[in-house]
Amino acid sequence: MPIVSLTNVSKAYPSRNPGDGEIVAVDDVTLEIEKGDVFGIIGYSGAGKSTLVRLINALEPATSGSILVDGVDITSLKESELRRIRGGIGMIFQQFNLFSSRSVKANIAYPLTLAGWTKADIEARVTELLSFVGLSDKAKAYPEQLSGGQKQRVGIARALATGPAILLADEATSALDPQTTHEVLDLLKRVNQEQGVTIVVITHEMDVIQTIATKVAVMERGRVIEQGDVFDVFSAPQNPASQRFVGTVVKGIPSPAELAVLRERHQGRIVTFSFRDGDSSQAQVFLDLASAGLDFELVFGGINDIRGRAFGHLTLAIRGEDAAIDSALAAIGDRVEVTEIAGEEAR
């Protein structure tokens, strides 16, 4: 059974400019998050990601559709019951949202105090959490004395304090440098693997999805335009909009500007071959082209790795008789994905 299940969920806000009607921030979204997933939601700013998160943790009501959390339809719950649902969901934020006037220890203890834990239990739990996030020596420090990465570790410890089944991370590494981002992502991986917490990662950074997510949903203008296994979505995006999105972050796909340069510098037809692990070998593609008597040159390429599985794109300029190129590409196209960039498109 999925731990979060959204069916035809929409959320509309009245426009901030009176008379402009409404803004549909989340538009007919259907998705399922399985227990134990690290589920990434990626999209540009304004795509509706944060709104979706506020719907999942019941901070705002949906306009329509159903939202099941752990099998319970939260769209029909009373406020008192919603509080219990929220208690099972931890949250971390881009700006950490720590209490600056409280020590690290008091920040982590806060949700436990709210939940009515005894002093002794709080003490033991905070000690355990500090050790888990690697900040045992910072219990008495104040947030301003910590680095960004340390602040986010405190945020994670606080979010985990009451033992939630779900952790929502809203742009949780967007304020951090790349090195610190990776340390925080490693910690989130441990939260998922060692504590079995399902994690929903909201981000505009592909790198974050690539590093920790197992599943991904791509959002654009309130809609989920594509979702699935991270490897599948990034190695072979189906939707034109997600192809554009993936193309900006995946290595080896030439941008329109890069294509224009390739077109100018190289004679022949510009063709991209996309390889996924398990596809026939790259050598076979080159052999097929050579044995068809074609001349070719590797002009662009890149290889990507997603949790040990590789995929990549190689772009060749191919020269020879058009008919010979056509039949070679048709034969190769049975085994690997072949995309030819028409001359006009590349200009």
Task: Give residues in contact with ligand ADP (CB under 6 A).
Answer: 13, 16, 23, 25, 43, 45-51
Q: How far is the CB of 189 from ligand ADP (least distance, A)?
A: 23
Q: Considering beta carbons, is residue 52 or 156 the nearer one to ligand ADP?
A: 52
Q: How far is the CB of 43 from ligand ADP (least distance, A)?
A: 5
Q: How far is the CB of 26 from ligand ADP (least distance, A)?
A: 7
Q: Considering beta carbons, is residue 94 or 150 the nearer one to ligand ADP?
A: 94
Q: Considering beta carbons, is residue 23 or 346 the nearer one to ligand ADP?
A: 23
Taken in order 226, 230, 234, 236, is the CA torsion positive or negative? negative
Q: Are 145 and 151 in contact (CB under 8 A)?
A: no
Run of H or E residues at 270: strand 269-276
Q: How far is the CB of 257 from ligand ADP (least distance, A)?
A: 26
- Rounded Cα gap, residues 310 and 301, in angstroms: 13
**In whole angstroms, what separates CA 245 from the centre of its chain?**
12
Q: Considering beta carbons, is residue 20 or 334 the nearer one to ligand ADP?
A: 20
Q: How far is the CB of 30 from ligand ADP (least distance, A)?
A: 17
User: Which residues lie closer than 8 Å to 68 by C-beta, 6 or more apart?
Assistant: 2, 4, 5, 6, 7, 74
Other C-beta atoms within 10 Å of 200: how many? 27
- Rounded Cα gap, residues 169 and 123, in angstroms: 26
Q: How far is the CB of 221 from ligand ADP (least distance, A)?
A: 8
Q: Are 225 and 242 in contact (CB under 8 A)?
A: yes
Q: Considering beta carbons, is residue 29 or 259 the nearer one to ligand ADP?
A: 29
Give the Å distances, CA to CA, from 216 to 48, 196, 232, 278, 296.
15, 19, 10, 22, 36
Q: How far is the CB of 250 from ligand ADP (least distance, A)?
A: 21
Q: How far is the CB of 42 from ligand ADP (least distance, A)?
A: 9
Q: Considering beta carbons, is residue 13 or 99 the nearer one to ligand ADP?
A: 13
Q: Considering beta carbons, is residue 51 or 57 the nearer one to ligand ADP?
A: 51
Q: Considering beta carbons, is residue 30 or 50 the nearer one to ligand ADP?
A: 50
- Single out the residue of 178, 179, 223 nearest to residue 205, CA to CA: 178
- Rounded Cα gap, residues 104 and 144, in angstroms: 10
Say what angle helices 148-160 and 178-195 make with each other, to 10 degrees: 20
Q: How far is the CB of 184 from ligand ADP (least distance, A)?
A: 19
Q: Supply the DSSP string of 154-198, one letter for each residue.
A: HHHHHHHTT--SEEEEESTTTTS-HHHHHHHHHHHHHHHHHH--E
Q: Considering beta carbons, is residue 55 or 271 the nearer one to ligand ADP?
A: 55
Q: Which two tokens stand for residue 48?
A: 């509706």
Q: Which two tokens stand for residue 86?
A: 């929220």
Tokens 């999805």 map to which residue? Answer: 209
Tokens 């989340």 map to which residue? Answer: 26
Q: How far is the CB of 217 from ligand ADP (least distance, A)?
A: 12
Q: Considering beta carbons, is residue 16 or 265 the nearer one to ligand ADP?
A: 16
Reading phi first (left if > 0) and then psi (alpha if -120 to 50, else beta), residue 132 is in: alpha
Residue 194 three-state SS: helix
Q: Are 265 and 315 in contact (CB under 8 A)?
A: no
